[in-house]
A and B are shown apart, each in its own frame.
Chain A
């Protein structure tokens, strides 16, 4: 009788240990958490935006440098005469290629 009860307890404990082991293995706690597809897409988009940001920053730096250089050059050149301020223009005696008239 005692041996029978002992075997029963041993079997129950074995079943419990087996179940716990299975639960732990199924939970797979040592693996890295798997990101959802949406999170992966957001991550890819973030990377693309970072690349674009770097590109835009480069372009802005280049344009700022060009604008600064242009400002420095124009600061050294005297202001043009009024006749050319509205567009490069002068009176000539050449035959006209076209005419302007009241539109």
Chain B
């Protein structure tokens, strides 16, 4: 998933870590858009697929999130992200280059009937906005068997049991006793095309990287998948009702959702 996974366990050292590693590998092999043999890539290539339970579950979660957010969170941003230049695993994306293509249409139709997922012609899915959180949720469940624990995949983290002080990049420290935290922003996965700075958070209304005064948003939710969704909605200007930390482009930090 192009990130570092950190596991903290209040128990026998190393217990269950191999299961966490295996789960990340398994779910990445199913849900990555950068692996041509993944279930997601086959769905995007063929437009329809008899999907396995994981792809079905994550697609359903993403669709529910799209509905709840009025389309602000949208798993059909695949072509828009690719048009902006994020067309390969991020470490391989050139940091600079000629102008990016115009934004692509978002909001394409997705139909799920039984185990079958069908995409409207011209629609492709990018589950990058939720799959990592989903995997963190699965991993922390596996690790919790061995004691209170925390799993952090590059900033998307979840805890089970215990009390965990978590630093919010450059601002406050939050003590988390249950649930999850995720951060979305334009301060990391970014690149330049034609002198313009671009990033991976697509505004579905324009099909282009979102332009607003925010640098990043950190939210707390019941699960890492939900935290990822809420962080993106908050970054794109949607209304959310969760504890959150917002950092503006000029460096101001605002606490909201009961954290004040």
Chain A positions within 8 Å of B, measured between CB atoms, are 81-103
- Name the one of A85, A86, A88, A103 contacting B184, with C-beta atoms under 8 angstroms: A103
Chain B residue with Cβ nearest A80: B258
A84 partner residues in chain B, CB cutoff 8 A: 243, 258
Q: What is the size, in residues, of chain B's interface with A at 8 Å between Cβ atoms?
A: 51
Does B154 touch A at the CB level, under 8 Å? yes
B72 within 8 A of A: no
By a CB distance below 8 angstroms, the chain B residues around A94 are 165, 173, 175
Do residues B175 and A100 form an inter-chain contact, with CB atoms below 8 A? no
When chains A and B are docked, how far (Å) is the Cα of A19 from the Cα of B172?
104
- Please indicate the chain A residues that have their CB under 8 angstroms from the CB of B153 in the complex: 103
Q: Establish whether residues B175 and A92, one from each chain, have CB atoms under 8 Å apart when the complex forms.
A: yes
Minimum CB–CB distance from B177 to chain A (whole Å) comes to 3
B6 proximity list for chain A (CB < 8 A): 98
Contacts of B257 in A (CB 8 A): 82-83, 86
Residues of A within 8 A of B132 (CB): 103
Extra pairs beyond A83-B258, A89-B175 (14, CB < 8 Å): A86-B243, A87-B179, A87-B180, A87-B181, A87-B243, A91-B174, A98-B157, A99-B169, A100-B218, A102-B188, A103-B132, A103-B153, A103-B155, A103-B228
B259 at interface (Cβ–Cβ under 8 A)?
yes
A-B contact pairs, 17 of them (CB 8 A): A83-B258, A87-B178, A87-B179, A87-B220, A88-B179, A89-B177, A91-B174, A94-B173, A96-B166, A97-B164, A99-B167, A99-B168, A99-B169, A101-B169, A101-B216, A102-B186, A103-B155
Interface presence of B219 (CB below 8 A) = yes
Interface string of B219-241 (1 = CB under 8 A from A): 11110000110100000000001
- Of residues 170 to 223 in B, which have CB atoms within 8 Å of A's CB atoms? 172-189, 216, 218-222
Asked if B144 is at the interface (CB within 8 A of a chain A CB), the reply is: no
Contact in complex: A96, B165 (CB < 8 Å): yes
Interfacial chain B residues near A92, Cβ < 8 Å: 165, 173-175
Smallest CB-CB separation from A92: which chain B residue? B175
Q: Given the interface contacts A89-B174, A89-B177, does A100 sit within 8 Å of B182 by beta carbon?
A: yes
Answer yes or no: B118 CB below 8 A from chain A CBs.
no
